Amino acid sequence: MKSVYIWHGDGWGGDKLNWMYAPARKTLAEGFKNYDVKIDVRVKCYDWKLVKPNSIFVWIGEYHADRVPWKQFKQKNIYTIYYQSEPWNEGKKWNFDAQEIWDYSMRNVVEIKKRVKNSKIVRYIPAGYLDSNKFMLTEKSKLVFFGDKRWRPQYQAVKNKLKDKMVNIFNIWNIKEFNNFVKKDGVGIFLNLHKHNKCICVEALRMSQLLSAGGLIISERSSQLDENMYKDFVIFTNDFEKEYNKLMNMSLEDRRELANKNLEKYKMDFSPRLIFERAKVNEII
């Protein structure tokens, strides 16, 4: 039986990548479960001798990706994959010596394919639906920005307009804290803002966390390539107040019905099994 290693580094911000990369890590593990493979998932492990020859090795994210012995792995017939986790125009390093690149954004995939050499394979593997506790929408729901507002210069203008209708949550770093957050009254409608006010790829890892929990999401406009993938369960607009008010003017029953419809559609379209099938991951097993 072939082994599949799904690893990534940590140590950033007090081991926060363990939570931030969890949607990608779990999606990959669930996707590979559909094949006859042995799955090894590790965080902050750099003991490369544990990786057996004739296996598949996936490294998630740029953090410590330069430590991976990519060339030595290939010499041992270890098939290497780099899971690229950053917006294309961030200027991060994306072309390590892996044999394939997997990416969470269709827009990123297109941009990388334009530049990649030696016909390297690039696959669209977004974080997908994962089992989760569910939000219970209530009569009075705030618009929640779930992330770090420091990297969103557009945040303050939106906050000035929406005032106390909008709140920022950036203190959740593990599943226990997230499950407690899900239970809170007035939580369930979210605003997605792009990093640095210029990265136009949909933040699939955050979408995975919130959509899997039945959240309603209003997002800043994105690349059309990515919007096409999420248009059935995310509201894309630059008039956040208008769309938030539309949701709040619905009856609570209708709002919950919309959230359930979006959840079921996301669960079907972004199941890890289907994500892997669309990307033809079976080609490497």
Which pair of tokens denotes residue 188?
Answer: 């369930």
Residue with tokens 């994210």: 61
Kindly report, residue by residue over 23-73, the tens digit of the pLDDT.
Answer: 999 999 999 999 999 999 999 999 999 999 999 999 999 999 999 999 999
How far is Cα 42 from Cα 40, in angstroms, rounded to an integer? 7
269 with 214: CB under 8 angstroms? Answer: no
Average pLDDT of span 11-32: 92
Kindly report, residue by residue over 141-199, the tens digit of the pLDDT.
Answer: 999 999 999 989 899 999 999 999 999 999 999 999 999 999 998 899 999 999 876 77
How far is Cα 188 from Cα 162, in angstroms, rounded to an integer? 17
Share of the chain above pLDDT 90, in %: 86
Q: What is residue 181's predicted lDDT score, i.e. its pLDDT?
A: 96
* Weakest mean pLDDT among 13-22, 126-135, 234-243: 13-22
85 with 60: CB under 8 angstroms? Answer: yes
pLDDT at 272 over 80: yes
How far is Cα 38 from Cα 44, in angstroms, rounded to an integer? 20
Helices (H) and strands (E) in the chain, counts: 11, 11
How far is the first Cα of the chain from the last one, in angstroms, to the nearest whole number?
A: 10
Q: Torsion-angle region of residue 190: left (phi > 0), alpha (psi -120 to 50) or beta?
A: beta
Instruction: Supply the mean pLDDT for the chain.
Output: 94
pLDDT at 13 over 90: no
Q: Which of 190, 188, 206, 193 is nearest to 158 (CA)?
A: 193
Residue with tokens 């598949």: 56
Residue 59: strand pairing partners:
7, 82
Average pLDDT of span 115-127: 88
Q: What is residue 96's predicted lDDT score, i.e. its pLDDT?
A: 87
Beta strands in 193-263 (DSSP E): 216-219, 235-236
What phi and psi, each to the nearest 5 degrees, are found at residue 70? Answer: -55, -50
Question: In the sheet where 100-103 sits, what is the strand order?
Answer: 37-43, 2-8, 56-60, 79-84, 100-103, 121-124
Q: What is residue 159's predicted lDDT score, i.e. its pLDDT?
A: 95
